[in-house]
Structure 1
């Protein structure tokens, strides 16, 4: 397992994009067609920072503020790692939510699992869809 990316939710996407591209040196790149605006910023050919538009007022999102670092994500590189994760989640009774990242060009679709450790603390696990046993 390796750290995959961090996500920042902000009401000022352009200022954040400007800082991370023009100052920090990341590059703007392709992003799947999500229903909320944002950017994927790349380092060494990988999307390492996701910027997402804060569409929900901070007061309406119980326990969550905007702007915020929304979550960190860990990439699992094999079906065995993915299966082991699911077995551990089940064995420990850990509540989680799943979602899919749509295919984007040659990049395959991906499966995500989100675990809320505490209010405002979210961990994502992600793998390519072909590692998921449906």
Structure 2
């Protein structure tokens, strides 16, 4: 397993993008066709910072921790299907809930599987793999 990326949700994605590109030395790169706007910034050929465009605050009457500006989550990558399967088994054995999703395929990369674990309010860990293990939905 290795650290895969950090995701930053911000109302000013262009400003943050310019900092990481112009100051930190990352480069713009391909991003799958998600339903939200954003950027993927690359180091050494890998997307290590994901920026997501979000409003500065929740709409009136709705408090949603998913849209406030923040450093959203860290992600760890598994290269092998057996590692992924072992992760699923450990989560299931301990009764730890998770959500799965899929990164849409793009011209630059194949589809990938994602698994999200909420450790505490506002603390999310993502696991990602391009391996094709069988992911069992939780009951």
What's the CA shift for 1:55? 4.3
Deviations 1:36-71 (A, max 9, x none): 000000000000000001148347344567321000
* Partner residue, 1:15: 15
* Secondary structure of the corresponding residue to residue 84 of structure 2: helix
Structure 1 contact 41–47 (Cα < 8 Å) conserved = yes
Structure 1 contact 113–124 (Cα < 8 Å) conserved = yes
**How many pairs align?**
133
**Following the alignment from structure 2 to structure 1, what is the Cα–Cα distance between the partners of residues 101 and 10?**
21
Normalized against structure 2, the TM-score is what? 0.89
* Partner residue, 1:49: 49
* Partner residue, 1:133: 134
* Partner residue, 1:89: 91
Q: Does 1:73 align with 2:75?
A: yes
CA RMSD of aligned residues (A): 1.7
Deviations 1:56-102 (A, max 9, x none): 83473445673210000000010100000000010000011000001
**Following the alignment from structure 1 to structure 2, what is the Cα–Cα distance between the partners of residues 93 and 58?**
32
> Would you identify which runs of 4 or more consecutive aligned residues in structure 1 move more than 2 Å?
55-66
* Secondary structure of the corresponding residue to residue 131 of structure 1: coil
Structure 1 contact 115–124 (Cα < 8 Å) conserved = yes
* Secondary structure of the corresponding residue to residue 5 of structure 2: strand
Structure 1 contact 72–123 (Cα < 8 Å) conserved = yes
What's the CA shift for 1:107? 1.4
Which structure shows the higher helix fraction?
1
* Secondary structure of the corresponding residue to residue 22 of structure 2: helix
